[in-house]
Amino acid sequence: MAAWSKRLHREGVTIGFVPTMGALHAGHRALIRAARLACDAVVVSIFVNPTQFGPTEDLSKYPRRLGLDRSLCRAEGVDVVFAPDRDAMYPPGSQTIVTVPALSRRWEGEARPHHFQGVATIVTKLLSLVQPDTSWFGQKDYQQAALVRQLATDLNLSGRIIVHPTVREADGLALSSRNVYLSAQQRQAAPVLFRALQAGAAALRSGARKGPQIRRHMVRLVAQEPIATIDYLAVCDPRSLEPLATVQSQAVLLGAIRIGGVRLLDNLLVTVRTSSRRPRTALHESR
Ligand code: AMP
């Protein structure tokens, strides 16, 4: 992988990179298409990274469909599918770990200890191997995208990071490889998270500014769905991801719920228009 990238760079070819854990869906496809448009060559990595799963999580049953994933990549004009095995990425004796402490502390980090050090380590390794000019990450995993931006800055990793908007089903459910675990009844209940986030965004747009009040509004909505339990719902600063007492100009509404054994994540970034100032550019936009 590294030799191929070096050769292309010498030839002046630009490399776009989309890291994934496979079981590719239309969300991944949107990232691949964005990379295809922007770069000469596209690399998609498929690696179910063991270090980002906790001991009681779904590593062994995480959907693996390498054959189908390769077909999708071929159809999308991907140049390289990089699908290393575990020993190639973590040879015996490897010990270095990358941590991004402040951004990892809350939300997903609280629910899944060690998850983000696994993510930060594998992303650092993949970016070092692939040496992309630009990489694409999904807004669907907002905290992950914020952490990747931070580590790329802190570790002086070359290449741009672009965060792509979340791709959703018609009823608003964010596409995820884990949605296949949902039964028909659970699938019907799943859009409640998006609806709650939308209600939070609507409250903000219509003048509500108190973080706790907006949060309670979202909690009430999810509570109407008896088979959903809330992991967290939060009104946060889009950069630090700390909860906001009062929203000034922007907030990210973060949420995670459980339906049966399935954990669903989603978020909405909201810019509040003030009369005196133009809205600030969102964190994830590359302009
Ligand atoms: P994963 O295979 O779940 O690790 O995801 C690989 C990349 O695709 C990550 O950057 C995700 O944030 C992104 N992604 C996953 N689902 C979506 C979605 N529904 N919309 C946009 N990007 C997504």
| DSSP-assigned beta bridge partners for residue 196 | none
Mean local confidence (pLDDT), 133-137:
98
pLDDT single digits (tens) 242-251:
999 999 999 9
> Which residue type sits at 153?
T
Q: Which of 24, 25, 28 best tests ligand 1's pocket when mutated (most atoms within 8 Å of CB)?
A: 28
Residue 25 CA, ligand 1 centroid: distance in Å: 9
CA dihedral 257, 258, 263, 266 (to 10 degrees): -20
pLDDT of residue 271: 97
pLDDT tier, 158 (very low <50, low <70, confident <90, very high otherwise): confident
Structure tokens of 86?
A: 């575990």
* Residue 278 pLDDT exceeds 70: no
pLDDT single digits (tens) 194-238:
999 999 999 999 999 999 999 999 999 999 999 999 999 999 999
Mean local confidence (pLDDT), 151-166:
96
Task: Give the residue numbers marked as catalytic.
Answer: 28
* Residue 74 pLDDT exceeds 50: yes
**What is the spatial distance between Cα 140 and Cα 117, in angstroms, rounded to a whole number?**
19
Ligand 1 binding pocket, CB closer than 6 Å: 20-21, 27-28, 30-31, 137-138, 140-141, 164, 166-167, 174-177
pLDDT single digits (tens) 17-33:
999 999 999 999 999 99
Of all atoms in ligand 1, which is nearest to the CA of residue 174?
19
Residue 27 CA, ligand 1 centroid: distance in Å: 6
pLDDT tier, 286 (very low <50, low <70, confident <90, very high otherwise): very low
Of all atoms in ligand 1, which is nearest to the CA of residue 176?
16
* Residue 283 pLDDT exceeds 70: no
pLDDT single digits (tens) 83-128:
999 999 999 999 999 999 999 999 999 999 999 999 999 999 999 9
pLDDT tier, 130 (very low <50, low <70, confident <90, very high otherwise): very high
| DSSP-assigned beta bridge partners for residue 256 | 232, 265
Atom 22 of ligand 1, nearest CA residue: 138
